[in-house]
C-alpha cells in the first residue's frame, strides 16, 4: 500500500522517522515517499500492460515539479486541465505529444498555447468548444487532435461534488449528442476528431461503473465507425480509488482484470488518467499539537495544520486516518481504520487554527492520548492535498519534502510572510 510504517513505536517514511523530518523541516509538513510513488506507478503499468496504454498522470492530484519529473522518469504521459498545469508538465520534461488537455472552460490563450506546444489530445467538452478549437487551429494553420468527452450517464457512487459521469453534471456531452458532434465537426478543417474521452468521477471504489461507462463508450465507437468516422483512441479517465482506510479500493490489477478485456482487440489506443491512486497514499501531512482543550463534552486537539493545508475534510467530509507519530504506550495502529479504539483512548476532534467551524481534519476519533507538542500524522494526503491548499487567514503554505530511502529533500520550500504579499507590492 505504501511505505509509511510504524517501527519501534514510531512512524517512519521509508528509512526516516517522521519526527526527524518534522524536526528538520518544521510543521505543518507534506511528506512524500518516492518508493511509494514509483511502486504505485509500476503496479498500474503492470496491471494494464496488455493494452499498452498511455498512463496519463493526472497533474491536478499532485502537481509538484519534482513529482512530475519522477512520473516522467517512470514513463508517464500527462493529463492537464489548465495552461498552468501544461506549463508544469512541460517544465518537468514531458513530451507535449503525450499530454492530454481536459476541462470544460479552456480559454483561447490556453488553446493557442497547447496548439503551439503540439499537445497530444484536447479532451473537448462541448460543441461550442469544438467550434472554437477548430477556428483557432485554422487561424494558426494547425490541425487540433481532439477527443470528445462523452457523458455516459453512469453513477460512480462517490461524493456528489466529484461525480462527473451523470447526465446532470456539466461534463461532456450525452451519448446521443456525441454522434451529432462527430457529424458536425469530424470533417471540419483544423480538427482531427478521432477519439472519445470518459471520466465518471473520483474516487470510484468499485469496478462496475467503469464497466458500464466503457461498454457504453465502445457502443458509441461502433456506431461512429459504422457512420464512417475513424475513431482511433479511447480515454477511459481516472478516478481509481486509494486506501483512506486499509483495503478500501480495488487494486490496479482488479480494475484492469474487469476493464481491459472489454478494450482488448477494439483497435483503439487506450489512455488512462490516474492521479489519486498513485499519489494519495504516497503523501502524508505532519502536524504538531499546539493545544488540547475541553469544551462541552468534546476534547479538541488544536494542531498547526488546518483546512488551508488540507481542505478535503471541510469540503467533502472526507475521512483521513490520523494517528500520533509516537503514540503513548507504544499504541501503534494495527491497521488504518475508522473503527480503532485503543485502550485508554480519548475521543477527539482534530482541528486547526483557522477561524471557521469547517476547519477540522478529523472528527470524533479515538486516539491514544496526545499532549501539547506531540506530532500527529494525517495519512493519505498526497492527492488533492497540497494542490488545494490556500493562504486563507494569511497562512503561508507548508513545505513539501520527498523521501528516498534514508534521504529527504525539500521539493517546495515553506512560504514566508514575504510570499504572502509579494504579488501585491
Ligand atoms: N481525469 C479527469 C478528467 C478528472 O477530472 C480527474 C479528476 C482525473 C482524471 C483524476 O482523478 P483521480 O484518478 O485523481 O481520482 N478534489 C477531489 C477530487 C477531484 C477530482 C477531479 N478530477 C478530492 O479531493 O477528492
What's the pLDDT score for residue 164?
84
Query: Is the bond preceding residue 356 a cis peptide, omega within 30 degrees?
Result: no
Smallest CA separation from ligand 1 atom 23, residue: 384
pLDDT at 1 over 90: no
Q: Which of 13, 62, 355, 377 is catalytic?
A: 355
The band of 215, judged by pLDDT with boundaries at 50, 70 and 90, is: very high
What's the pLDDT score for residue 86?
98
249 CA to middle of ligand 1, Å? Answer: 15
CATH class of 34-279: alpha beta
What is the residue-wise DSSP string for 41-71?
HHHHHHHTGGG--EEEEEGGG---HHHHHHH
User: Of all helices (H) and strands (E), which one includes residue 32?
Assistant: strand 29-33
What's the pLDDT score for residue 189?
95
Smallest CA separation from ligand 1 atom 5, residue: 199
Ligand 1 pocket: which residues have CB below 6 Å?
58, 61, 79, 102, 162, 199, 202-203, 237-240, 273-277, 312, 383-384
CATH class of 4-32+281-424: mainly beta
Smallest CA separation from ligand 1 atom 3, residue: 199
- Residues whose CB is less than 8 angstroms from the CB of residue 343 and which lie 6 or more positions away in sequence, other chains included: 329, 331
What is the percentage of the chain residues whose pLDDT exceeds 90? 94
pLDDT, mean of residues 262-279: 98
What's the pLDDT score for residue 166?
81
Integer Cα distance of 238 and 273 in angstroms: 4
pLDDT, mean of residues 390-416: 98
359 burial class (0-12, 13-18, 19+ CB within 10 angstroms)? buried
Integer Cα distance of 362 and 377 in angstroms: 11
In the block, residue with C-alpha cell 529533500: 409
What is the end-to-end Cα distance of the chain in Å, rounded?
A: 45
Strands (E) in 185-309, as ranges, are 191-197, 233-235, 269-272, 283-295, 298-303
Integer Cα distance of 387 and 398 in angstroms: 11
Domain boundaries, the chain: 4-32+281-424, 34-279
For a ligand 1 pocket test, name from 37, 40, 53, 58 the mutation site with the most ligand atoms within 8 angstroms of its C-beta: 58
The band of 107, judged by pLDDT with boundaries at 50, 70 and 90, is: very high
| Cβ–Cβ < 8 Å for 104, 82 | no
201 CA to middle of ligand 1, Å? Answer: 7
Smallest CA separation from ligand 1 atom 16, residue: 384
pLDDT at 296 over 90: no
The band of 276, judged by pLDDT with boundaries at 50, 70 and 90, is: very high
Runs of H (alpha helix) within 245-289: 252-263, 276-279
Residue 377 annotated to the active site: no
Biggest alpha carbon distance in the chain? 71
What's the pLDDT score for residue 347?
95
pLDDT, mean of residues 2-26: 98
What's the pLDDT score for residue 131?
98
pLDDT, mean of residues 301-306: 98
Reading the block at residue 375, the C-alpha cell is: 506530532
pLDDT at 95 over 90: yes
Q: Is the pTM of this model over 0.95?
A: yes
Smallest CA separation from ligand 1 atom 19, residue: 162
What's the pLDDT score for residue 297?
80
For a ligand 1 pocket test, name from 275, 318, 388 the mutation site with the most ligand atoms within 8 angstroms of its C-beta: 275
The band of 172, judged by pLDDT with boundaries at 50, 70 and 90, is: confident
Amino acid at each position: 500500500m505504501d511505505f509509511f510504517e510504524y517501527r519501534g513505536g514510531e512512524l517512519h517514511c521509508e528509512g526516516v522517522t517522521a519526527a526527524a523530518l518534522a524536526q528538520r523541516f518544521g510543521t505543518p509538513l507534506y511528506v512524500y515517499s518516492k518508493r511509494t510513488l514509483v511502486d504505485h506507478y509500476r503496479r498500474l503499468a503492470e496491471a494494464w500492460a496488455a493494452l499498452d496504454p498511455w498512463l496519463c498522470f493526472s497533474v491536478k492530484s499532485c502537481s509538484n515539479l519534482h513529482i512530475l519529473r519522477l512520473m516522467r522518469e517512470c514513463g508517464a504521459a500527462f493529463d492537464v486541465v489548465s495552461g498552468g498545469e501544461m506549463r508544469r508538465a512541460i517544465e518537468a520534461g514531458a513530451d507535449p505529444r503525450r499530454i492530454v488537455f481536459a476541462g470544460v472552460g479552456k480559454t483561447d490563450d490556453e488553446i493557442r498555447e497547447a496548439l503551439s506546444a503540439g499537445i497530444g489530445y484536447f479532451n473537448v467538452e462541448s460543441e461550442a468548444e469544438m467550434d472554437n478549437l477548430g477556428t483557432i487551429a485554422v487561424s494558426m494553420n494547425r490541425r487540433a487532435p481532439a477527443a470528445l468527452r462523452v457523458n455516459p450517464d453512469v453513477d460512480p457512487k462517490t461524493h456528489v461534488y466529484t461525480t462527473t459521469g451523470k447526465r446532470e453534471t456539466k461534463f461532456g456531452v450525452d451519448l446521443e449528442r456525441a454522434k451529432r458532434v462527430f457529424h458536425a465537426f469530424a470533417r471540419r478543417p483544423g480538427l482531427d476528431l478521432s477519439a472519445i474521452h470518459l471520466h465518471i468521477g473520483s474516487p470510484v471504489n468499485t469496478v462496475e461503473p467503469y464497466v458500464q461507462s466503457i461498454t457504453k463508450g465502445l457502443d458509441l465507437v461502433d456506431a461512429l465507425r459504422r457512420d464512417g468516422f475513424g475513431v482511433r483512441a479511447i480515454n477511459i479517465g481516472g478516478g481509481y480509488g486509494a486506501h483512506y482506510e486499509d483495503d478500501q479500493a480495488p487494486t490496479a490489477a482488479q480494475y484492469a482484470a474487469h476493464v481491459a478485456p472489454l478494450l482488448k482487440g477494439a483497435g483503439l489506443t487506450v489512455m488512462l488518467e490516474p492521479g489519486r491512486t498513485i499519489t494519495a497514499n504516497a503523501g502524508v501531512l505532519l502536524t504538531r499539537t499546539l493545544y488540547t482543550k475541553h469544551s462541552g463534552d468534546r476534547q479538541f486537539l488544536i494542531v498547526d495544520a488546518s483546512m488551508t493545508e488540507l481542505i478535503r475534510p471541510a469540503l467533502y467530509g472526507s475521512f483521513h486516518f490520523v494517528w500520533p507519530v509516537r503514540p503513548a504506550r507504544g499504541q501503534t495502529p494495527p491497521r488504518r481504520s475508522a473503527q480503532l479504539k485503543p485502550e485508554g483512548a480519548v475521543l477527539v476532534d482534530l482541528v486547526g487554527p483557522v477561524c471557521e467551524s469547517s476547519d477540522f481534519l478529523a472528527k470524533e476519533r479515538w486516539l491514544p492520548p496526545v499532549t501539547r507538542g506531540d506530532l500527529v500524522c494525517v495519512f493519505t494526503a498526497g492527492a488533492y492535498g497540497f494542490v488545494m491548499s490556500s493562504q486563507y487567514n494569511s497562512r503561508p503554505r507548508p513545505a513539501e519534502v520527498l523521501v528516498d530511502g534514508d534521504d529527504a529533500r525539500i521539493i517546495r520550500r515553506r512560504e514566508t510572510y514575504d510570499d504572502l504579499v509579494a504579488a501585491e507590492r
